[in-house]
Structure 1
Amino acid sequence: MKVTFDIECTPEEARAFLGLPDVQPLNDFMVEQMRKRVEANIHSMQPEEILKSWSSVGVHAQDQFMKLMQSAAQASLNPFNTGKTDK
């Protein structure tokens, strides 16, 4: 036998029914603290420096990806790892 219940309630009502804590005040506090920190530090951020750090990570990731592809290609040439490669 299969029984289905459809319950319409708000998230707050569901949390209260299940005995879960109301985390809305904590969430509001955390968001406010993050907003204050971003506002305090936004002036010290330099877009050029951020882009340089992002691009250096991108180049490093690209190099790592190329090494991964090269090792995969080498492995496909020598599937049984006999120490010899087909040329």
Structure 2
Amino acid sequence: MKISVDVDCTPEEARRFMGLPDLSSVHDVYLEKMRRTIEDGITPDTLTSMVQSWAPMGEAGMGMWRQLFEQMSGTGKK
């Protein structure tokens, strides 16, 4: 037996229903920082520091994510 349920709701309603935190203020701060960066002009140093802030553990962190995705997709070494 297969049962399907369709729920028609906004992303905000779904977030509240699932009990997820409201990150809209964090999103607003992030967008403002991106606007300022673009208005000030993106330099290679700015781009490097921004990318490093996205990957706190640097190359080791990126390697960990790569390995995780490879294991999930079945393309990793066995």
Q: TM-score normalized by structure 2?
A: 0.49
Bigger-Rg structure (1/2): 1
Q: TM-score normalized by structure 1?
A: 0.44
